[in-house]
Structure 1
Amino acid sequence: MKRHCALLLAAGGSTRLGRPKQLLTIHGVPLVRHIAELLLATEPERLIVVTGGAATETGQALAGLDSVLVQNPDWKTGMASSLQCGYQALGTDPGLLLIAGTDQPRLTCEHLSTLLRQGDSHTDVVTAYGEEGRGIPVLLSPATQLRLADLRGDTGLRQLWKNGASTPAFLHAPELGFDIDTPEQLDAAIRAGWIDRD
């Protein structure tokens, strides 16, 4: 496996859902722990988990895992601050950076391994959900990581490639286009068997 570090974004407040999505469960395992275990299975040098909303409960859900929790004091401002907080915690020379979130119940280790196979020190890899939808998980090259400091608010990672400075490769995974942001999406995930019923 290529040398890399991993970053799990788990700071959201889940305001539209009305409950912490990090703590939803898959076969009795909190979603944040499930995703962290997938990232650890790729054998990163370090796994940083950025917390914000429900930080105490998220930390409890991750107890015993080989990860470093970093609290983002500005998590309410959006994803950009969590990306920057996590990246700063990695220190110098993290190698390739594998980034995932906590609201994709259909994410598998194979998705993450494919990102690592496709990427290299000059090539980012972004997940493509369809014609327009693109996002996490992603693999960032060292050069692109330096541009995380330019992000603001909740614009997310898409801004990194908008100016055409670099063109990423794509992992085509339409199943990852489903995430859990609303009660309706949670109900759909439960009906499909992707998330446990309470």
Structure 2
Amino acid sequence: MPSAPDSPALAGTAAVILAAGASRRLGRPKQLLPYGDGVLLDAVLATARRCGFAQTVLALGGSAAEVLGAVDTSGCEVALNPDYDEGCSSSIAAAMALLRPDTSAVVLLLGDQPGVRAEYVAPLLRALAGQHSPGAAVCRYDDGVGHPLAFSRRLLPELASLHGDKAVWKLLEQRADDVVEVPTPGTVPLDVDTEDDYRRVLAELQGAG
């Protein structure tokens, strides 16, 4: 059963969940790796639901049919990205094409990063709405900057027009004066690209339990 939001829908906010990768380094769909009581992507979707976004868009590409057959995507609008081989920017563009006209802030979440917690998101959105109204807000963990990342309305056209796999980070570098870092506890959450990554994520989950 999908998780109930921790708060009412946050007007104008949208989550974009990037889960379109082909999992080439892993050799099997990482979205469907067993994790907790479900699979990896279930955990990320549960986090997004707890945040209370007004809209959630899930970008799928590689293994999309398998994912849709195995994962409860209720409450999500699914953006199928046939160009997922071109990098995550193509998935961002596919997802943002489905955003509602009144969207004022977008939060990017990675579909292979189950360690991100719902409570990391609200401070990012508060930072965007703060006195200086930055164009973007990022999590500053103990060991560096990481997802989730939040973007205000004025940067959405640039976000949607990116190309390549690391273009989001290049945009943040180019707009450094318009980005605020939000202190976030702990280290950058692990994402899963290899079997070693998966073992570490499982060990972290067991340690938390």
After superposition, the C-alpha distances for 1:4-63 in whole angstroms (9 at most, x for unaligned) are 111111101111122222112332222212211211222222111000011012223433
Aligned to 1:125: 137
RMSD: 2.3
Cα offset, 1:138, TM superposition: 0.9
Aligned residue type for 2:164: G
After superposition, the C-alpha distances for 1:101-146 in whole angstroms (9 at most, x for unaligned) are 1122211111122222322283221123456x43321111001111
Aligned to 2:147: 136
How many residues align? The count is: 194
Does structure 1 residue 151 correspond to structure 2 residue 162?
Answer: yes
Q: Following the alignment from structure 1 to structure 2, what is the Cα–Cα distance between the partners of residues 84 and 113?
A: 24
Match of 2:112, SS state, is coil
**Which range moves more in the overlay, 5-14 or 60-69?**
60-69
Aligned residue type for 1:183: E
**Which range moves more in the overlay, 138-147 or 19-28?**
19-28
User: Which of the two has greater strand per residue?
Assistant: 2
Considering Cα pairs closer than 8 Å and 6+ residues apart, tell me whether 1 or 2 has the greater RCO: 1
Residue 171 of structure 1, aligned match among 179, 182, 186: 182
Summarize the Cα distance change of 1:63–1:127 in structure 2 as closer, same or farther, 3 Å threshold. Answer: same
**Which range moves more in the overlay, 23-32 or 93-102?**
23-32
Aligned residue type for 2:201: A
Cα offset, 1:192, TM superposition: 3.0
CA contact (8 A) 1:50 1:71 kept: yes
TM-score (norm 1): 0.86
Q: Following the alignment from structure 1 to structure 2, what is the Cα–Cα distance between the partners of residues 91 and 150?
A: 17
TM-score (norm 2): 0.82
| Structure 1 unpaired stretches of 5+ | none
